[in-house]
């Protein structure tokens, strides 16, 4: 590091038993903050190591880019938890840990001989993060949680897409991702609480809970107003004009979210100030289809670049719909260091989407590559043996 200041979670040991995305995402967020994260994998590895294409590296040892998205800054240890020796080593690790992360279905940890209640008796300061699909209790507790299933069950698909195409999933595993974010948030709160009480706790979240929390204003449309929202395509459900519009050479996005912005936009688009359909936010929403038609007629001879430039000049939020190659060459990505580079064994120098949070006064950390399967098994087991010897000698 280029400074004497330590990373925020320096000295925190995390044992990551999770796989796929939600748990690994939570563990990676803690690792990004400086925690030591030891990822315990079965002999065949985290399932996401096999998810692809795309794969990179040598054909005889292909590496999944999916796995890479949530596993930087970790050590990989292979332990067979069905083997007594592997289970004992895992328990040994957990006895030294500050945080344990798991995302098995309800009951699996107990069947493995790793019941959280027993682990916390052996290590009272342990904070355990448990991420399930549908929650720890109730009739759906034992169901496996997969992102698209949760997107459907939690209502997100019902408000995504348009009426013609039907319910649509998001293009990223949003439930997995948010469950990981909420899990890390819970762990940080528990670490703070432990400073006061001296004891750990169990933090629980689920993909379903994360998805329901993400319903935001669509949720309160039902819980408060009694409305059951449906899909509105690429247009905002409560504000107009706010969405995607055709122009001469493609699509442009605008967000006219206040009366001040509306007056400026109305003049730019040549819309009548006397038309009662556009008089109020509510009337514009009611007449959104007609308003969209008028806007697209006004935009028909104007290019995307011209419209975006003009609207930004007027202080009206506008933008394009960028493909991923455009995103990762965009100024905000470049100017804010949103891609980190690491040397990946068997591949070379690679770029990874980096942490979205920075801290003034703290240096950028030196990130470590997503580990190869079992890359650190020997070193970690040697450390456990040496540490046990030191404890016995005291």
User: Active-site positions?
Assistant: 176
CA pseudo-torsion sign 120, 124, 126, 127:
positive
Task: Write phi, then psi, for 81 (nearest 5 degrees).
Answer: -70, -10
Judge whether 18 and 76 are in contact, CB under 8 Å: no
Question: What CA–CA distance (Å, rounded) separates 382 from 378?
Answer: 6
**How many Cα atoms sit within 13 Å of 325 on the Cβ side?**
0
């Amino acid at each position: 590091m280029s400074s004497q200041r330590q990373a925020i979670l320096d000295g925190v040991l995390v044992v990551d038993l999770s796989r796929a995305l939600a748990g690994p995402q939570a563990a990676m967020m803690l690792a990004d903050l400086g925690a030591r994260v030891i990822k315990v994998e079965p002999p065949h590895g985290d399932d996401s190591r096999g998810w692809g294409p795309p794969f990179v590296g040598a054909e005889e040892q292909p590496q999944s880019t999916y796995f890479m998205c949530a596993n930087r800054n970790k050590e990989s240890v292979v332990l067979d938890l069905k083997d007594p020796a592997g289970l004992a080593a895992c328990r040994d690790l957990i006895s030294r840990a500050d945080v344990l992360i798991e995302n098995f279905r309800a009951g699996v940890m107990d069947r493995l001989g790793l019941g959280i209640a027993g682990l916390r008796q052996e290590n009272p300061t342990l904070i355990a993060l448990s991420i399930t699909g549908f929650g720890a209790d109730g009739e759906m507790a034992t169901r496996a949680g997969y992102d698209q299933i949760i997107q459907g069950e939690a209502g997100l698909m019902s408000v995504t897409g348009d009426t013609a195409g039907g319910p649509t999933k998001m293009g990223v595993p949003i439930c997995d991702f948010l469950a990981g974010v909420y899990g890390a948030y819970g762990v940080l709160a528990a670490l703070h609480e432990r400073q006061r009480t001296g004891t750990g706790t169990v933090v629980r979240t689920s993909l379903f809970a994360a998805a329901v929390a993400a319903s935001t204003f669509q949720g309160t449309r039902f819980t408060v107003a009694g409305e059951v929202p449906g899909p509105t395509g690429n247009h905002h459900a409560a504000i107009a004009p706010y969405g995607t519009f055709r122009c001469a050479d493609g699509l442009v996005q605008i967000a006219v979210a206040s009366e001040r912005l509306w007056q400026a936009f109305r003049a730019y688009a040549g819309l009548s100030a006397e038309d009662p359909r556009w008089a109020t936010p509510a009337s514009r929403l009611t007449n959104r289809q007609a308003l969209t038609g008028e806007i697209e007629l006004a935009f028909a001879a104007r290019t995307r670049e011209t419209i975006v430039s003009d609207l930004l000049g007027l202080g009206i939020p506008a933008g394009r719909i960028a493909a991923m190659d455009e995103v990762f060459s965009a100024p905000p990505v470049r100017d804010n260091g949103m891609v980190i580079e690491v040397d990946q064994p068997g591949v070379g120098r690679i770029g990874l989407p980096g942490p979205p949070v920075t801290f003034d006064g703290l240096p950028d950390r030196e990130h470590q590559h997503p580990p190869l399967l079992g890359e650190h098994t020997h070193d970690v087991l040697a450390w456990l043996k040496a540490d046990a010897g030191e404890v016995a000698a005291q």
